[in-house]
């Protein structure tokens, strides 16, 4: 296939950076550049396209036009494609794939359009050679893009072979990763290359997987972004000129060698998540920039400007999180406020760039940006805000306001009242907390009816659960009061906003109260006596640890030595961990949920406890009790108030069904053993016939620590032993009807 000196090409890119891409292509030698939405048309020889694949920091793909034609229906589509000489593009022994997009009045289904296009190409080969090439949708030798807009069809070959943002250094990323070419665009908009040329430093205080840092380092070191890619689309194209490509590769390798040997600017990143920091370090090592880029685990509140050498100028750039869950944006306002304070406190005289999808959050920094660029992070409209930290002043950022400003003074006063109550409660509990070395506790439980939330402290984190507002309270009023809670918490408790999880339970129906709130999958470790327990404050309404049952768990730990312990409806197994650490001979934990059993498995491992002596059984407790033969010295029976899980037959109601359930559990109790029965059903009454059959002692008051004594009805608890007439006699197992 003979190539002309000048060929038209198309480079696609994220929306909003078309002008940057046009400038970049012109610098590489392109002519006749023309911007369009999410891309740039340009002209140049084959060597230019090779350079674009190697050196473009901004393009998604480089596309080579195959044919442009007018088509109406499927027949004309087939006919136009069947006329193309496909033998000039690839061999019959090679594989290909079709990406079809767009539609018109006749072709309304992209899958149908792709099928007819594939048929036309395959039939061309069959007619010419009697054989057909194979289609490989996942990893073809060549991929063709067909775009249909009304009656105009444009067919291109994917010259780059997949998106060029994949540089080859990032195999894994943290949450919401920034694509490499968008990161490069942010750095170019922030004028990082000029800053680097003047010896300026680059710092990302929330670096994630280090994408911004690595793109900045590659710019400073003159490393081509395509140098580490394993494969390009043109390598299997019949028109490929290997000698031209090798010249481009050799030049890039030589420039990278020189760049790596040059002293690079100070480039540092920080992140509070050690797992993400390890990912960043892996990425840095993969591209061999360990000497230039350093990352470490540090929270925003602890960050200071590096002091090992003078850094009078530099760029602080970051892509902070943005909130989509209810209550999260209000929390993030304080994160952005802390970011603004950090920039002025530690980096005065520098430049700063903040990439966010929410301008309200950007304003919450309290700084005035001198430039704003509209960009897209995938489909999300976003903004890059540029700040001059030399000529800026930190203003007190305001919280988002309702349209009605008449409530502002009320909101401020209410937030102060709530904060004062938190401080008062902490002071009241402090002596007990210090004496008992308790790190997880309830500090507030709807003490003031206007602020109907439960606030629980989990070590260095806080969990806030809103109770359902009465029907007489409007959504607007409830939402306003919740904002006051959010505004008061960080200062009142001395915790950063990102360490506070908010849950709202209002007006949820049916199974929604059990659905996942988020998908962070983040487990944090907290301590309870000698036990280390994993909790998740963000993903579900419940955290994995019911704090009101703390005294009962500690009681079980004291009584478990050399005993066989059975934990029915074990949840995440906190009581099992306590029993095992207390010296239980063996524990057995029963639950129907794989999620909770997996959580318990992690809790056991977290405490160095082997599963060989701590058995986990996935089962419905009711039928399991009917067939188990083993007996136990110590049993915890803490059933749900109600359950109608799809994985069980019928439903379970603790008031209706507890009698037969307790009898079945007591039938597995060894002579001289005891069982704790607990539940959280308001108004629960223990059946009278149970009191006559067993020794039943109500210990509810004994199982409430000071942080829950304000709400004595949060749970009820009994200790049951076999009565004098039943001592030593195994109770018959009756069918449990539910």
Q: Among 271, 312, 311, 314, which Cα is nearest to 295's?
A: 271
Residue 348 burial by CB count (10 A; 0-12/13-18/19+): exposed, middle or buried?
exposed
Predicted pLDDT of residue 604: 87
Distances (CA, A) of 40 to 14, 28, 67, 126, 629: 11, 14, 18, 36, 74
Q: Where in the sequence is the domain holding 202, given as residue range(s)? A: 180-221+262-388
* Pairwise CA distance, residues 554 & 529, whole Å: 8
- Encode 129-165: b = buried (16+ Cβ within 10 Å), e = exposed: eeeebeeeeeebbbbbbbebeeeebbbbbbbbbeebb
Instruction: Give the distance from CA 576 to its chain's centroid.
Output: 29
Are residues 409 and 384 part of one domain? no
CB < 8 Å & 24+ apart, contacts of 370-373? 373/16, 373/189
* 222-245 residue pLDDT tens: 999 999 998 999 999 999 999 999
User: Do residues 214 and 287 make contact, with C-beta atoms less than 8 angstroms apart?
Assistant: yes
In a domain, 418, yes or no: yes
- Helices (H) and strands (E) in the chain — how many of each? 19, 30
* Pairwise CA distance, residues 510 & 498, whole Å: 30
Beta strand 632-637 pairing with 564-568: parallel
Are residues 574 and 429 part of one domain? no
Query: How many structural domains are present in the chain?
Result: 4
Q: Give the SS3 label for residue 621.
A: helix
Residue 418 φ/ψ, nearest 5 degrees: -65, -45
* Pairwise CA distance, residues 340 & 363, whole Å: 9
| Structure confidence at residue 399 as a pLDDT band (50, 70, 90) | very low
Are residues 701 and 561 part of one domain? yes
Are residues 666 and 553 part of one domain? yes
pLDDT(330) > 70 = no
Name, of 436-445, 466-475, 666-675, the range with top average pLDDT. 666-675
CATH of the domain at 487: 3.30.750.80
User: Edge-to-edge, what's the strand order for the sheet holding 267-271?
Assistant: 293-297, 267-271, 201-204, 314-318, 351-356, 380-388, 371-377
| Structure confidence at residue 515 as a pLDDT band (50, 70, 90) | very low
> Which residue's entry shows tokens 């768990």?
553
Strand partners, 464: 455, 502
Q: What percent of the chain has pLDDT over 70?
A: 89
Are residues 420 and 353 part of one domain? no
* Pairwise CA distance, residues 381 & 16, whole Å: 10
Beta strand 31-36 pairing with 293-297: unpaired
DSSP per-residue letters across 630-669: --EEEEEE---SEE--TTSSS-EEHHHHHHHHHHHHHTTE
* Pairwise CA distance, residues 391 & 655, whole Å: 68
In a domain, 303, yes or no: yes
- Encode 20-53: b = buried (16+ Cβ within 10 Å), e = exposed: bbbebbeebebeebeeeebbbbbbbebebbbbbb
CATH of the domain at 566: 3.40.50.150
Q: Among 189, 288, 218, 292, which Cα is nearest to 54's?
A: 218
Q: Among 416, 440, 442, 437, which Cα is nearest to 710's?
A: 442
* 243-255 residue pLDDT tens: 999 999 999 999 9
Predicted pLDDT of residue 333: 73
Q: What percent of the chain has pLDDT over 90?
A: 65
In a domain, 175, yes or no: no
Residue 219 φ/ψ, nearest 5 degrees: -65, -45
* 558-617 residue pLDDT tens: 999 999 999 999 999 999 999 999 999 999 999 999 999 989 988 888 878 778 789 999
Are residues 144 and 22 part of one domain? yes
Q: Give the SS3 label for residue 49.
A: helix
Predicted pLDDT of residue 92: 95
pLDDT(411) > 50 = no
The token pair at 459 is 């070590």
CATH of the domain at 20: 3.30.2130.30
User: Do residues 78 and 120 make contact, with C-beta atoms less than 8 angstroms apart?
Assistant: yes
In a domain, 530, yes or no: no
Contacts of 622 by beta carbon, 8 Å cutoff, 6+ apart = 648, 652, 661, 664, 736, 738
CB atoms within 10 A of CB 736: 19
* 545-572 residue pLDDT tens: 999 999 999 999 999 999 999 999 999 9
Crossing angle (nearest 10°) for helices 475-493 and 328-346? 40
- Does the predicted TM-score (pTM) go above 0.75? no
Are residues 651 and 504 part of one domain? no
* 624-636 residue pLDDT tens: 999 999 999 999 9
In a domain, 24, yes or no: yes
> Which residue's entry shows tokens 């962070």?
520
pLDDT(217) > 90 = yes
Q: Whole-angstrom distance between the N-terminal and C-terminal Cα of the chain? A: 77
* 242-285 residue pLDDT tens: 999 999 999 999 999 999 999 999 999 998 788 889 999 999 99
In a domain, 652, yes or no: yes
* 170-212 residue pLDDT tens: 876 656 679 999 999 999 999 999 999 999 999 999 999 999 9
Residue 139 φ/ψ, nearest 5 degrees: -140, 70
Are residues 380 and 472 part of one domain? no
Predicted pLDDT of residue 401: 40
Beta strand 453-458 pairing with 440-445: antiparallel
Residue 2 burial by CB count (10 A; 0-12/13-18/19+): exposed, middle or buried?
exposed
User: Do residues 385 and 356 make contact, with C-beta atoms less than 8 angstroms apart?
Assistant: yes
> Which residue's entry shows tokens 């006559």?
692
In a domain, 348, yes or no: yes
Mean pLDDT of 5-31: 95
Are residues 660 and 572 part of one domain? yes
Are residues 458 and 329 part of one domain? no
Are residues 37 and 129 part of one domain? yes
Are residues 557 and 508 part of one domain? no
The full 3-state SS of 672-738, as one line of letters, equals EEEEEEEECCCCCCCCHHHHHHEEEEECHHHHCCHHHCCCCCCCEEEEEEECCCCCCCCCCCCCCCC
The dihedral sign for the CA sequence 704, 709, 713, 714: negative
The token pair at 255 is 């420039």
Write down which residue in 327, 358, 388 finishes a domain: 388
Q: Among 530, 528, 527, 578, which Cα is nearest to 556's?
A: 578
* Pairwise CA distance, residues 225 & 49, whole Å: 14
In a domain, 532, yes or no: no
Residues in the chain: 738
């Amino acid at each position: 296939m003979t190539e002309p000196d000048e060929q038209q090409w198309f480079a696609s890119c994220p929306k909003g950076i078309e002008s940057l891409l046009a400038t970049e292509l012109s610098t590489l030698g392109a002519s006749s550049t023309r911007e369009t939405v999410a891309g740039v048309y340009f002209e140049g020889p084959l060597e230019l396209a090779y350079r674009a694949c190697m050196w473009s920091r901004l393009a998604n793909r480089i596309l080579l036009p195959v044919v442009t034609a007018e088509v109406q229906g499927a027949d004309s589509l087939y006919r136009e494609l069947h006329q193309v000489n496909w033998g000039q593009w690839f061999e019959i022994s090679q594989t290909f794939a079709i990406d079809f997009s767009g539609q018109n009045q006749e072709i309304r289904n992209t899958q149908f359009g792709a099928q007819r296009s594939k048929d036309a190409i395959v039939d061309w080969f069959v007619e010419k050679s009697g054989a057909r090439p194979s289609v490989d949708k996942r990893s073809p030798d060549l991929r063709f893009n067909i775009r249909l807009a009304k009656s105009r069809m444009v067919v291109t070959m994917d010259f780059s072979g997949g998106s060029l943002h994949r540089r080859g250094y990032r195999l894994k990323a943290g949450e919401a990763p920034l694509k490499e070419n968008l990161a490069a665009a942010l750095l170019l908009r922030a004028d990082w290359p000029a800053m680097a040329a003047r010896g300026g430093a680059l710092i990302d205080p929330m670096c994630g997987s280090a994408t911004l840092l690595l793109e900045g380092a590659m710019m400073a070191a003159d490393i081509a972004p395509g140098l580490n890619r394993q494969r390009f689309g043109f390598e299997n194209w019949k028109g490929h000129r290997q000698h031209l490509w090798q010249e481009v590769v050799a030049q890039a390798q030589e420039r990278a060698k020189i760049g790596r040997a040059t002293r690079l600017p100070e480039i540092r990143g920080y992140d509070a998540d050690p797992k993400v920091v390890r990912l960043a370090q892996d990425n840095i090592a993969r591209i061999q920039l360990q000497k230039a880029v350093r990352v470490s685990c540090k929270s925003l509140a602890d960050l200071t400007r590096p002091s090992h050498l003078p850094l009078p100028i530099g760029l602080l750039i970051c892509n902070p999180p943005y909130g989509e869950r209810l209550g999260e944006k209000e929390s993030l306002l304080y994160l952005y406020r802390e970011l603004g304070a950090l920039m002025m406190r530690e980096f005065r005289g520098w430049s700063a760039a903040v990439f966010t999808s929410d301008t309200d959050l950007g304003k919450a920094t309290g700084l005035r940006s001198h430039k704003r660029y509209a960009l897209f992070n995938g489909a999300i409209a976003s903004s890059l805000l540029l700040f001059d930290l030399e000529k800026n002043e930190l203003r007190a950022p305001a919280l988002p306001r309702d349209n009605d400003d008449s409530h502002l003074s009320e909101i401020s006063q209410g937030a102060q009242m709530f904060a004062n109550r938190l401080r008062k409660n902490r002071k009241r509990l402090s002596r007990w907390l210090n004496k008992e070395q308790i790190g997880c506790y309830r500090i507030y439980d709807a003490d003031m009816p206007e602020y109907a939330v439960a606030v629980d402290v989990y070590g260095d984190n806080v969990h806030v659960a809103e109770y359902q507002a009465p029907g007489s309270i409007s959504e607007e009023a409830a939402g306003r009061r919740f904002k006051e809670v959010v505004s008061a918490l960080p200062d009142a408790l001395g915790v950063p906003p990102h360490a506070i999880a908010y849950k709202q339970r209002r007006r949820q129906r049916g199974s929604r109260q059990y659905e996942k709130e988020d998908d962070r999958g983040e487990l944090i470790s907290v301590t309870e006596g000698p036990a280390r327990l994993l909790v998740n404050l963000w993903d579900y309404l419940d955290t994995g640890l019911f704090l009101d049952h703390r005294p009962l768990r500690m009681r079980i730990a004291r009584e478990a030595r050399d005993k066989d312990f059975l934990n029915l409806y074990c949840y995440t197994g906190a009581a099992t961990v306590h029993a095992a650490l207390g010296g239980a001979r063996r524990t057995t934990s029963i639950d129907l949920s794989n999620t909770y059993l997996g959580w318990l498995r992690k809790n056991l491992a977290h405490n160095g406890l082997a599963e060989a002596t701590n058995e986990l059984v996935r089962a419905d407790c009711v039928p399991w009790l009917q067939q188990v033969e083993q007996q136990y010295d110590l049993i915890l029976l803490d059933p749900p108030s109600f359950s109608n899980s799809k994985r069980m037959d019928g439903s379970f109601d603790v008031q209706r069904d507890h009698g037969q359930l307790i009898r079945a559990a007591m039938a597995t109790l060894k002579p001289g053993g005891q069982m704790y029965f607990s539940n959280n059903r308001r108004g629960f009454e223990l059946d009278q016939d149970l009191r006559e059959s067993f020794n039943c002692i109500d210990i509810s008051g004994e199982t409430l620590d000071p942080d829950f004594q304000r709400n004595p009805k949060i749970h009820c608890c009994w200790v049951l032993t076999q009565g004098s007439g039943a001592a030593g006699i195994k109770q018959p197992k009756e069918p449990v009807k539910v």
